Structure formats: structure tokens, C-alpha cells
Amino acid sequence: MKKTYQQEQYNELHPRPKSRYEQFQEWLNECPVQIEDYQDNTDHAIVRFDLPFQDEENFAESITQEQLNSIKGNLL
């Protein structure tokens, strides 16, 4: 069923809050590391990241503290 103009305008002016799933998908799309495997199941997701080991100096240059906090926060 196609939305009417009024429905589209209402939805634009009154956006619904994003679900945790939608927030996770947005975060995953912006993830700073390579994703090796991703399985999206009904009630959980399995994600395998490829994060090569680097010495601390190079690692600090390639990923910011904000990105680390984002990864930790979403995994907890």
C-alpha cells in the first residue's frame, strides 16, 4: 500500500525513535574495521571482525579513542 502525501509529511515531521537494531546497523555500516563474517539472525547477530595486530603507536594513529569507545559500548 502506497503512503499518501499526508502520511509522508506526518512521518517526516514526527520521526519515530530508532530501534537498537537500527542503531546497531548504522554503527556497523560506519565500523572502522573490516568485517569478515556477518550473520543476522532473528534475535541476535554474529559479527567477526578482522583487526590485525599492530604496535601500539601505529594502532593509536589508525583508530581514535572515540571509535574504540563506540566499539566497546556497542559490544557491552
In a domain, 50, yes or no: yes
In a domain, 35, yes or no: yes
In a domain, 53, yes or no: yes
Q: Report pLDDT digits (tens) over 4-61.
A: 999 989 988 988 898 988 898 898 898 888 889 999 987 888 999 887 776 655 555 6
pLDDT score recorded for residue 76:
57
In a domain, 7, yes or no: no
Number of domains the chain contains = 1
Residue type, 62: S
pLDDT score recorded for residue 15:
86
Contacts of residue 62, defined as CB under 8 A and 6 or more positions apart, other chains included, come to: 54
Euclidean distance between CA atoms 55 and 52, whole angstroms: 10
The neighbouring-strand residues paired with 47 are 38
pLDDT at residue 3 above 60? yes
43: closest CA among 16, 17, 21?
21
Q: Cell numbers at residue 22, please?
A: 537500527
